[in-house]
Structure 1
Amino acid sequence: MTQQQKVQNAETQVPKTPQMNERDFVNDVLASEKYLTGAYSIALNEASNQGLYQELASISKETQDCQRNLYNLMFKNGWYSLEKADQQKVQQAYQQYSGYMNQFPPQ
């Protein structure tokens, strides 16, 4: 991947030692939050009690927000990069999914 295809901030330097550094800790917590958001999604699908569902939904939203904040921190510090989307692939996906709209009944 060329540098022009990456979207990334300047990397905040951290010590490269055998001990965990700030980036390692944030990355570890981010991975945990991603796992938890998936687990809460399954729990929400399986909850049969409305009160339990509402409580899980609230906790799930907090967990999702925490995951997003950690992602933003990683991106801000240049520890997380994204690949720019190929414009032709975006257009192809748009056309594919726009075609699906024709399958729905008119409103």
Structure 2
Amino acid sequence: MTFSNKIENPQTPPPEKQTFNDNEILRAAIATERNFCNSYTTAMLGASHEKLYKLIFEMLKDAAQQHRKLVDLQFQHGWLSLTPAPSEEVKALEKEFRDAEKQLK
């Protein structure tokens, strides 16, 4: 027995011209570099051979540097703003970190 009724949704026509602005392209590049860093970290930690570990580590450093440059570019264009933390908060977090570090020793 063959059914002749098709089940489908109405087709949505694609936009004539879809463009991304510079900020969107930059955000996509930053996300890509972040994903590279995460993947390289996972691969590096699983590398069983020293040369492979060093190679992946260099790739991680390169990706991290590129990520940093892209974030700087985003900041230069005014698409990213930073709010400085109060110095008391920074000092409290630093103390908390130092205390936790002492416990690990």
TM-score normalised by L of structure 2: 0.72
Moved more, 49-58 or 90-99: 90-99
- Please list the CA deviations of residues 1-44 of structure 1 after superposition, one character each: whole Å capped at 9, or x if unmatched: xxxxxxxxxxxxxxxxx621111111101111011101111111
Task: State the one-letter code of the partner of 1:82.
Answer: L
Is 1:45 paired with 2:45? yes
Q: How far, CA to CA, are the matches of 2:24 and 2:94 in structure 1?
A: 37
Q: Give the 4+ runs in structure 1 shifted more than 2 A.
A: 97-105
Which has the bigger relative contact order, CA under 8 A and spacing at least 6?
Answer: 1
Structure 1 unmatched runs, 5+: 1-17
Structure 2 unmatched runs, 5+: 1-17
Task: State the one-letter code of the partner of 1:62.
Answer: D
Q: Give the secondary-structure state (helix, strand or coil) at the position aligned to 1:83.
A: coil
Query: Counterpart in 1 of 2:12?
Result: none
Identical-pair percentage? 24
Query: Counterpart in 2 of 1:79?
Result: 79
- Please list the CA deviations of residues 38-84 of structure 1 after superposition, one character each: whole Å capped at 9, or x if unmatched: 11111110000112112111211111111111111011111111221
Query: Counterpart in 1 of 2:98?
Result: 98
Task: State the one-letter code of the partner of 2:53.
Answer: Y
Query: Counterpart in 1 of 2:58?
Result: 58
Aligned length: 88
RMSD: 1.9
Query: Counterpart in 2 of 1:3?
Result: none
Q: How far, CA to CA, are the matches of 2:95 and 2:72 in structure 1?
A: 30
Q: Give the secondary-structure state (helix, strand or coil) at the position aligned to 2:19.
A: coil
Higher CA-based Rg: 2
